[in-house]
C-alpha cells in the first residue's frame, strides 16, 4: 500500500494528505473540497475572535459532514510599552505616506483601535463546537489548554521548524507534529518570531524523525509524486500541501494575484517580516523592498494588523506591489482546477 495509515486512521480520513490552513488564501469551500477528495481540510482561524471562529466552523459544517482541522495561532503578544507606542506612530505615518506616494488611499488604524485576541477563547469555542482536530502554529499551547482539549478528546497537531521545537511539542503530549521546512510558503511556524531556524525540509524531517516518537506530517515543497515520495521515505506519515492549491478554484486569491504567481521566478521568492512582523515566504514586491530592512517593522501581531488595511486597499486596486502573495520555493504550474481535482490528481500520480 502506498499510503501510510497511522495518521489517516486517527483523523478519520482515507488519505493522509492535508490541505494547508493558509489564512487569507484558504476558504470554507477549500476545506470542504479537500474533504471531498477524502483528505483533511484545514479551517484557518488564525487569531480571530471566538465569535468569528464559531461562525466559520458552523459555515464549514453546513457544507461538509467530514472531519476537518481547525487551525489557530498561539503566538506571544508583546506588551504595549511607551517605546512600542512611539514606534507604532512612526510606522503608521511612514506607511500612510508610502501608500499616498503610490496612489493608494488608505487610513491605517490607531494603536488603541487594534483588537488583539488570545487563542484561549478560540480553544473554548473549538470545544463547544465539537471540533475534534486542532492544529496550531507559532508556538505551543499552554498546559491548561492542552489538558482541556485532551479531556474533550481533541487530536492536537503542533508545528515545528527545529528539532528543539519538536521535542517541546512531544514533551507536552501533542499527538502529531507538522514539520515545516524553510522552503514552505507563508509564515514560519517558529516559536520565536525573531530567530527562525533556517533548516531545509528534508534535513529537518530526518532529524526530527530520529528524535521524537509521535507521527510526523511534513509541510514544504510537496507539489507532486516525487516530492511526496521523498518525504515519505524520510519518515513522514502525513503530507501537507499548500502551494499546490494557491490558484485553485476555491482559493481566495484574486485573478491578478494568480497571474502574478504564474510569472514568479525563483529569485523573486523571499522571506520577509515587512507585512506582519513575523517571517513569511512570498513574492518580492515594492512594499517588501521598501520596508524589509527599514526601522518601520513592528512586532507581530501589530505590524500585521497595521498593514491589513493597506493590503486590502491594494487588492481592491489590483496592485500586486502592495499585497502579500505567499508562496513556497517549489515553482509549478499553479493549477486553477478545483481543490478536489488537484488533490485527487496528486493521489493518482502517487499511486501510479
Task: Check residue 194 and give its pLDDT.
Answer: 87
Across residues 69-97, what is the average pLDDT? 97
Residue 165 has pLDDT above 80, yes or no: yes
Confidence of residue 1 (pLDDT cuts 50, 70, 90): confident
Q: In degrees, to the nearest 5, what angle opens at C-alpha 47 toward C-alphas 316 and 83?
A: 90
H/E element holding 187?
Answer: strand 186-187
**What is the rounded distance in angstroms from the CA atom of residue 195 to the CA atom of residue 276?**
15
pLDDT tens string 102-111 = 999 999 999 9
Query: For 248, which DSSP code?
Result: S
Residue 294 has pLDDT above 90, yes or no: yes
Task: Check residue 143 and give its pLDDT.
Answer: 97
Across residues 84-93, what is the average pLDDT? 98
Q: By percentage, how much of the chain surpasses pLDDT 90? A: 99
User: How many CB atoms are closer than 10 A to CB 116?
Assistant: 12
Across residues 126-152, what is the average pLDDT? 98
DSSP H helices, 159-318, are 163-171, 201-211, 225-233, 255-262, 286-291, 302-316
Across residues 195-215, what is the average pLDDT? 97
SS3 readout for 41-90:
EEEEEECCCHHHHHHHHHHHHHHCCCCEEEEEECCCCCCCCHHHHHHHHH
The structure's pTM equals 0.97
Task: Check residue 186 and give its pLDDT.
Answer: 98
**What is the rounded distance in angstroms from the CA atom of residue 186 to the CA atom of residue 220?**
10
**What is the rounded distance in angstroms from the CA atom of residue 250 to the CA atom of residue 244?**
12
**What is the rounded distance in angstroms from the CA atom of residue 111 to the CA atom of residue 115?**
9
Confidence of residue 75 (pLDDT cuts 50, 70, 90): very high
Residue 67 has pLDDT above 90, yes or no: yes
**What is the rounded distance in angstroms from the CA atom of residue 339 to the CA atom of residue 119?**
28
Task: Give the cell for residue 224.
Answer: 507532486
- Whether a cis peptide bond, with omega within 30° of 0, leads into 51 is no
**What is the rounded distance in angstroms from the CA atom of residue 298 to the CA atom of residue 53?**
26
CATH topology of domain 9-77+116-250+333-352: TIM Barrel (3.20.20)
Q: Where are the domains of the chain?
A: 9-77+116-250+333-352, 79-115+254-324
Amino acid at each position: 500500500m502506498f499510503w501510510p495509515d497511522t495518521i489517516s486512521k486517527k483523523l478519520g480520513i482515507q488519505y493522509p494528505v492535508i490541505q494547508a490552513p493558509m489564512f487569507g488564501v484558504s476558504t470554507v469551500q477549500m476545506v470542504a473540497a479537500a474533504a471531498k477528495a477524502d483528505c483533511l481540510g484545514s479551517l484557518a482561524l488564525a487569531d480571530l475572535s471566538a465569535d468569528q471562529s464559531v461562525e466559520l466552523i458552523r459555515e464549514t459544517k453546513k457544507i461538509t459532514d467530514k472531519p476537518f482541522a481547525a487551525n489557530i495561532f498561539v503566538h506571544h503578544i508583546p506588551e504595549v510599552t511607551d517605546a512600542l507606542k512611539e514606534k507604532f506612530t512612526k510606522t503608521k505615518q511612514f506607511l500612510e505616506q508610502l501608500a499616498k506616494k503610490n496612489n493608494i488611499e488608505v487610513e491605517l488604524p490607531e494603536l488603541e483601535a487594534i483588537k488583539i485576541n488570545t487563542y484561549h477563547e478560540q480553544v473554548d469555542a473549538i470545544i463547544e463546537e465539537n471540533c475534534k482536530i486542532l492544529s496550531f502554529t507559532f508556538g505551543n499551547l499552554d498546559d491548561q489548554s492542552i489538558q482541556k482539549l485532551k479531556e474533550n478528546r481533541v487530536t492536537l497537531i503542533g508545528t515545528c521548524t527545529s528539532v528543539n521545537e519538536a521535542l517541546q511539542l512531544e514533551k507536552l503530549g501533542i499527538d502529531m507534529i507538522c514539520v515545516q521546512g524553510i522552503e514552505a510558503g507563508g509564515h514560519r511556524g517558529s516559536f520565536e518570531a525573531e530567530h527562525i531556524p533556517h533548516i531545509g525540509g528534508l534535513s529537518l524531517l530526518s532529524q526530527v524523525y530520529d528524535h521524537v516518537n509521535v507521527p510526523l506530517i511534513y509541510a514544504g515543497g510537496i507539489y507532486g509524486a516525487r516530492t511526496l515520495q521523498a518525504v515519505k521515505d524520510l519518515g513522514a506519515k502525513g503530507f501537507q500541501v499548500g502551494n499546490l492549491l494557491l490558484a485553485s478554484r476555491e482559493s481566495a486569491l484574486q485573478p491578478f494575484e494568480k497571474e502574478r504567481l504564474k510569472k514568479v521566478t525563483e529569485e523573486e521568492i523571499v522571506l520577509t517580516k515587512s507585512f506582519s512582523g513575523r517571517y513569511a515566504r512570498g513574492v518580492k514586491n515594492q512594499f517588501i523592498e521598501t520596508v524589509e530592512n527599514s526601522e518601520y517593522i513592528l512586532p507581530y501581531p501589530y505590524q500585521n494588523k497595521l498593514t491589513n488595511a493597506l493590503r486590502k486597499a491594494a487588492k481592491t486596486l489590483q496592485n500586486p506591489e502592495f499585497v502579500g502573495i505567499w508562496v513556497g520555493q517549489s515553482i509549478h504550474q499553479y493549477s486553477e482546477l478545483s481543490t478536489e481535482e488537484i488533490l485527487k490528481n496528486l493521489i493518482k500520480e502517487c499511486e501510479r
